[in-house]
């Protein structure tokens, strides 16, 4: 289950599909969108929400493309304090149960110790929140390094400095509904496995980071397909969101140049944003 949330953080016409299968243009995190009588191009950039500083990629071409855009559109507008408050409110448990009620007393003590010793977090402050908040905390930390970077924070800071409008493709309610689809029991079981050192998700994380650093979004997509084969239902997290986002992207691109920054797992594949945009009549080409 943590794998599913990790994929969220990375997370991606017949001719278009064939080109992707051949891997001719799969090694880029940045794509230019043009055509369909657009006045100026927009850009699609794949992120990992939290990454080690040494693995943070921001090339001259990425910087130039970002600076040329009028608007920066993330998965959700994290620059709006009211939106962050809505997300925090959505993480509150509404059933009357407390966080510790989802665990046995032994399991809760184990989880409490793990978060305190490994992450320096006292989970008592989340006593009235859903178990998914603990899962989110785990995916917001990177155990392999001391210094981490958030693409969303970096891009938001740069947008403010350049007086660019910051927007989002989804509302807080949509993101909360998405997280609520994850069964609490599955989250609890995975948290206990992680605390006991029985989870194998760290190898998945490193494989995804390696693919990301190489800008190999086809390999990221392969890892996603592997996850689906192992039973993770990712359709709602990837394919359905991609299809929903296309119309929202088109509406924004018709008005101005937009720099879209979403999890890199949303880019590739038959139902990835690149192929869906091409099917919709746009020219989508990689920028190096």
| pLDDT score for 228 | 59
> At residue 168, what are phi and psi to the nearest 5 degrees?
-140, 155
HEC states along 129-169? ECCHHHHHHHHCCCCCCCCEECHHHHHHHHHHHCCCEEEEC
CA nearest neighbour of 240 among 6, 2, 8, 1: 8
d(C-alpha 107, C-alpha 120), whole Å: 18
Residue 232: pLDDT band (50, 70, 90) is: low
Average confidence (pLDDT) over 205-232: 81
| pLDDT score for 146 | 75
Strand 258-263 to strand 42-47: parallel, antiparallel, or no bridges (unpaired)? parallel
| pLDDT score for 148 | 84
User: Tokens 């320096």 sit at which residue?
Assistant: 120
Average confidence (pLDDT) over 138-166: 85
CA nearest neighbour of 75 among 164, 175, 7: 175
18 pLDDT above the threshold of 50: no
Q: For 48-90, how does the pLDDT look when each residue is reduced to its tens digit (9 = 90+)?
A: 888 888 889 999 999 999 999 999 999 998 777 787 788 888 8
> At residue 226, what are phi and psi to the nearest 5 degrees?
-60, -40
Residue 189 near residue 1, CB atoms below 8 Å: yes
User: Tokens 């855009």 sit at which residue?
Assistant: 69
Residue 28 structure tokens: 């880029």
Select the more confidently predicted residue: 44 or 1: 44
CA nearest neighbour of 30 among 77, 64, 75, 76: 64
Residue 170 near residue 75, CB atoms below 8 Å: yes
Tell me how many helices (H) and strands (E) the chain has.
Answer: 13, 8
DSSP H or E run through 83: helix 81-90
| pLDDT score for 98 | 95
160 pLDDT above the threshold of 60: yes
Average confidence (pLDDT) over 165-191: 89
Residue 288: pLDDT band (50, 70, 90) is: confident
Residue 53 near residue 148, CB atoms below 8 Å: yes
CA distances in angstroms from 251 to 31, 125, 212, listed in the order given: 18, 41, 29
Select the more confidently predicted residue: 206 or 166: 166
| pLDDT score for 24 | 52
Instruction: Give the number of other CB atoms < 10 A from CB of residue 53.
Output: 11
């Amino acid at each position: 289950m943590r794998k599913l949330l990790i994929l969220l953080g990375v997370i991606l016409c017949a001719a278009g599909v064939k080109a992707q299968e051949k891997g001719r243009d799969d090694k880029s995190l940045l794509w230019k969108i043009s055509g369909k009588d657009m006045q100026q191009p927009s850009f699609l950039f794949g992120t990992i929400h939290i990454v080690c500083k040494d693995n943070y990629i921001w090339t001259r071409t990425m910087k130039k493309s970002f600076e040329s855009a009028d608007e920066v559109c993330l998965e959700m507008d994290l620059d709006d304090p009211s939106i962050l408050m809505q997300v925090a409110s959505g993480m509150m448990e509404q059933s009357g149960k407390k966080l510790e009620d989802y665990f046995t007393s032994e399991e809760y003590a184990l989880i409490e110790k793990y978060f305190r010793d490994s992450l320096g977090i006292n989970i008592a402050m989340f006593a009235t929140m859903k178990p998914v908040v603990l899962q989110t905390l785990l995916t917001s930390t990177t155990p392999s390094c001391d210094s981490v970077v958030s693409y969303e924070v970096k891009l938001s800071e740069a947008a403010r400095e350049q007086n660019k409008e910051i927007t989002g493709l989804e509302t807080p309610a949509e993101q909360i509904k998405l997280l609520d689809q994850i069964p609490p029991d599955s989250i609890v079981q995975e948290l206990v496995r992680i605390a006991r050192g029985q989870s194998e998700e760290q190898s998945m994380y490193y494989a995804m980071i390696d693919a990301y650093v190489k800008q190999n979004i086809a390999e990221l997509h392969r890892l996603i397909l592997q996850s689906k084969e192992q039973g993770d239902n990712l359709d709602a997290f990837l394919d359905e969101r991609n299809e929903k986002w296309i119309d929202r992207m088109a509406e924004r691109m018709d008005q101005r140049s937009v720099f879209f920054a979403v999890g890199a797992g949303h880019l590739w594949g038959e139902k990835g944003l690149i192929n869906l945009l091409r099917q919709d009549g746009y020219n989508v080409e990689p920028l190096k």
